[in-house]
Amino acid sequence: MEFPCKVKIPPRLQPYVEAWGKEDADALAACFDEPCEFHSALLDHPLRCRSEVRAYFADLFQRIPGIQTHGSRFFILGDATLTVTELTVRNPSWGEGLFLMTSAQLQRFSEKGLITHMEVFLDVEAAVKV
């Protein structure tokens, strides 16, 4: 079933969503305050500054180019936003082909509207080949 309406992106996340769509590591890093905290299951330790966030995204887009977002839902939780996204990726470490997976991100924002804390959850175990 398709829904005819578009999902409204929260204004404070609009720059992040646009930068993600362009695979622009510099623009993504600019969405973060200084200092910040970025946690992901793909990392051994949290990232603590814009330059680390920028390097992470630059590496991600180089290793796994063409990540496609197929739909997101945004939940406003006071000073935080929870984003749930369906993605397709080509990840050679999983095998050949395209895989569908779900990601959830919890973002907290500073008074300047920049991300101060982000946690990324990936449902890798439930990724399916499409």
Q: What are the E-state strand segments in 41-129?
A: 68-77, 80-89, 99-109, 115-122, 128-129
Residue 4 lies in a domain: no
Dihedrals φ, ψ of 99, to 5°? Answer: -120, 140
Q: Is residue 1 part of a domain?
A: no
Answer yes or no: is 5 within a domain.
Answer: no
Q: Please measure the distance between the N-terminal and C-terminal CA atoms of the chain and give it in whole angstroms.
A: 18
115 occurs within a structural domain: yes
Query: Which pLDDT value is given to residue 80?
Result: 94
| Residue 3 within a domain | no
61 belongs to a structural domain = yes
Q: Would you give per-residue pLDDT tens digits along the chain (130 residues)?
A: 344 556 789 999 999 999 999 999 999 999 999 999 999 988 999 999 999 999 999 999 998 888 998 889 999 998 899 999 999 988 777 788 899 999 999 999 999 999 999 999 988 888 888 8
Predicted pLDDT at 64: 85
Instruction: Residue 66: give its domain's CATH number.
Output: 3.10.450.50
Containing structural domain, residue 48:
11-129
pLDDT at 63: 87
Q: Does 6 fall in a domain?
A: no
Contacts of 3 (CB under 8 A, 6+ apart): none
Domain count, the chain: 1
Nearest-angstrom CA–CA distance, 38 and 57: 11
